[in-house]
Amino acid sequence: MNPSWPYPLLRLKPGKEGMLSRRHPWLYSGAVEAPIEASLVRIADHSGRVLGVGTASATNPLAARLFRFDDGPLDEAFFRERFETALQLRKDLGLWDPEGGCRLVFGEGDFLPGLVVDRYGSALVLQVGTAGLEALREVWWPVLFEIGKREGCTIFVERSQAGRKEEGLEPVNRLIKGSLAGPITIREGAAHFTVDLLKGQKTGFFLDQREHRLSLGRMAQDARVLNVFGYTGGFSIHAGLGGAAEVATLDISAAALDQCEKDWAMNGLDPADHIRMEGDAFELMRGLEPEAWDRVIVDPPAFAKARKDIDKAFKAYKDVFRLGARATTPGGLLWCFSCSQHLDRVRFQEAVDRPARGEPRGAGARASGAAHGPSVWAESSGRVLFEGAAGEGGVMAEEQPPSGSSRPKRVLSFFGAAWGSVSPAVLVIPFGQP
């Protein structure tokens, strides 16, 4: 079906157009004057002046998502321009690798709300999160398929997105086009990873951690590295290739650890230098020798999948980050991550700050940004140190340690770094007395 233009008008309540006038792409149900009856709409203020065009949902509190801020159709020409612009940006950033992985389309970040498209070598994996995009599938899918084929992609897979249920859509996990005999292999820097496009987490792999994995590899020489919630060992393998003396991967999934060990060997690394830790992360970390690991990565799953879970999640983050800090050797590095969108940056910073400052080795603060990071926050004050558009480089800022302290623990923090991630991430550097 190719929905006819013009789409129905969705009128706002008086005074509710403020967010859209600032070009914010979201509109909540409380701003809408009448019940939503169409999945494709032209959004207008109370007087009838059209402000933009987008998709809408009667079942989702996020009632509408704007694709354009003028009065025009979401047609083939529109999607072609959006896809080509997104592709050119990845090429300009040096991310478009026929053997690598990157996010081609990142929803609102590419002005295509509800759509995610990831490249894994010769495969494109897509996620469709709104009923409006489903209604437009016959418009945008042929364009995406054409561009993908032109760029050397022969496999097309679709995976479910969490938001489909709220839009009244059924889950999906399927091969759309091409032939897929099993997992595929991608390259990331010097590392090669196996990716299961139909069974792996998210679209198959955690592409948003690329820059952090590469960074760890540059800082791993002769270090003992602990990768907690390590999944298939992305951080572990970069650490091994970076010259780590010993690497441990901790995860509760036996299948993920099996793949980690296979990929470790596939990358030419000595199995004797890798330790498999299978089980509950909290329990296993409590049994670790304190201050024994030079590089510690703590990248847990989403502890807060809904707002009602925030308080419980906050306690879990504090606990696991405390255990990570406890395991980190004096002078070592600790990476702390969160993928819980409901835990805001202030609470996340507090979850890291409390266990870090609770260490007897003291703490100061330092902040760093990475490309694609929308902002960088000072760990102790919450000041915005850097606002970055896609592809801009980061900055460094450092706070002096408290008066009278010596060799403080320093904290690097970034919000939304790692090539399009919207999760907060913090890097804590202990500099305690050995």
Catalytic residues: 339
State the DSSP code for 400.
P
Contact present, 423 and 208 (Cβ < 8 Å): yes
Cα gap 256→282, rounded to integer Å: 18
Q: In 3-state terms, what secondary structure has residue 419?
A: coil
Write down the H helix ranges in 232-366. Answer: 234-241, 254-266, 281-286, 310-327, 345-358
Minimal CA–CA distance to 417: which of 397, 383, 434, 394? 394
Contact present, 64 and 27 (Cβ < 8 Å): yes
One DSSP character per residue, 224-264 reads EEEEET-TTTHHHHHHHHTT-SEEEEEES-HHHHHHHHHHH
Contact present, 322 and 283 (Cβ < 8 Å): no
| Amino acid sitting at position 403 | S
Contact present, 390 and 428 (Cβ < 8 Å): no
What sign has the CA pseudo-torsion 84, 209, 161, 107?
A: negative
Cα gap 28→15, rounded to integer Å: 14
